[in-house]
């Protein structure tokens, strides 16, 4: 299926309101008041939609990345995307594109992301981004939207952009959190991808079991007429689609860096929808990409050969 997608004209249009780079440091166990010497350091793509475009470019799949960006980090992000064959169209703002710091403990106990807002966005910047978005929609097979919002940018922008895409009949894959997720859901995206914590916030409680997660996802699907894919780390994922429900078990792979794995799922689903394929095919490709991303130290990096190898191993089991 991956090779089939490489021959399709379906283009994924990604839009990132809060662009970012990731500085990934593999460190010994963290301790305060000490100098920690990283075992390795990598400058990588950041921001959910641009991560997904970076992945799609790596796989040779057509994608066009719109973003708000600024400064030298924004220029570096644009160049990195272009090096992977991604068409870019950035609206340049004041301030600086974010530089996230991701600390990955080399003993496998986990990782932490440090981030801070640094873009300065005006209404004129947002109006120009909307103009370019509308101009690109007629070439898009799918829109990929989400991530965090720069300071001062209303969550209503997600609902607005989803509505504009829907008015032109373009499917939307959406992934955000907090109020941005709530407002975007009200516009009825085609697919939404919360994690367990984000779904629990929407449902108003902690979701402990797969049954509870599936029930909350079904409620979200019925309320917003939206397919819901809930990522669960080493428990895989739950997907509630209009005519089917699945549990997707995780593959046992060595985890080098978990950042960007969920964005691999976004990339796979978006590519399938852009090509007019069933969302099930996008889930298979997306979770194969996620497994490949987990094995690389840099965020959203993966090997096309690893993706192709994992693809036949992804299972979609029914949820009763």
Q: Which residues are catalytic?
A: 263
- The answer to whether 176 and 146 are in contact (CB under 8 A) is yes
Q: Give the separation between CA 213 and CA 173, rounded to whole angstroms.
A: 20
Return the number of other C-beta atoms located less than 10 Å from residue 252's C-beta. 8
Helix (H) or strand (E) holding 175: strand 172-175
Residues 195-233: b if buried by 16+ CB within 10 A, e if exposed: ebebbbbbbeeebeeeebbbebbeebbeebebbbbbbbe
Q: Give the separation between CA 37 and CA 56, rounded to whole angstroms.
A: 33
- What angle is formed at CA 184 by the lines to CA 182 and CA 187, rounded to 5 degrees? 115
Q: Give the separation between CA 295 and CA 302, rounded to whole angstroms.
A: 8
Q: Classify residue 146 as left (phi > 0), alpha (psi -120 to 50) or beta.
A: left
Q: Give the separation between CA 20 and CA 40, rounded to whole angstroms.
A: 20
Q: Give the separation between CA 143 and CA 194, rounded to whole angstroms.
A: 17
Q: Give the separation between CA 12 and CA 173, rounded to whole angstroms.
A: 10
């Amino acid at each position: 299926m991956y090779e089939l997608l490489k021959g399709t004209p379906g283009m994924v249009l990604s839009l990132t309101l809060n662009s970012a780079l990731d500085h990934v440091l593999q460190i010994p166990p963290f301790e305060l008041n000490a100098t920690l010497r990283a075992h390795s350091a990598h400058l990588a793509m950041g921001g959910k939609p641009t991560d997904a475009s970076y992945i799609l470019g790596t796989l040779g799949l057509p994608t066009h990345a719109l973003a708000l960006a600024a400064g030298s980090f924004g220029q570096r992000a644009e160049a990195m995307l272009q090096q992977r064959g991604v068409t870019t169209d950035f609206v340049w703002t004041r301030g600086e594109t974010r530089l996230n710091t991701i600390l990955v403990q080399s003993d496998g106990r986990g990782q932490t992301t440090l981030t801070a807002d640094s873009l300065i966005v005006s209404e004129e910047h947002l109006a120009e981004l909307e103009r370019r978005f509308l101009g690109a929609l007629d070439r898009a097979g799918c829109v990929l939207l989400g991530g965090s919002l720069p300071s001062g940018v209303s969550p209503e922008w997600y609902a607005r952009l989803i509505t504009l895409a829907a008015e032109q009949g373009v499917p939307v894959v959406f992934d955000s959190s907090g109020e941005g997720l709530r407002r975007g859901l009200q516009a009825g995206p085609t697919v939404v991808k919360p994690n367990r914590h984000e779904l629990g916030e929407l449902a108003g409680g902690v979701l402990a079991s797969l049954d509870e997660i599936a029930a909350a996802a079904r409620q979200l699907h019925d309320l917003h007429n939206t397919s819901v894919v809930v990522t669960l780390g080493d428990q895989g994922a739950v997907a509630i689609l209009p005519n089917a429900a699945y549990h997707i078990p995780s593959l046992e792979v060595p985890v080098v860096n978990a950042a960007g794995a969920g964005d691999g799922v976004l990339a796979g689903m978006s590519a399938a929808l852009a090509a007019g394929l069933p969302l099930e095919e996008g889930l298979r490709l997306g979770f194969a990409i996620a497994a490949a991303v987990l094995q690389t130290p840099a965020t959203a990096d993966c090997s096309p050969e690893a993706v192709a190898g994992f693809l036949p191993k992804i299972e979609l089991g029914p949820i009763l």
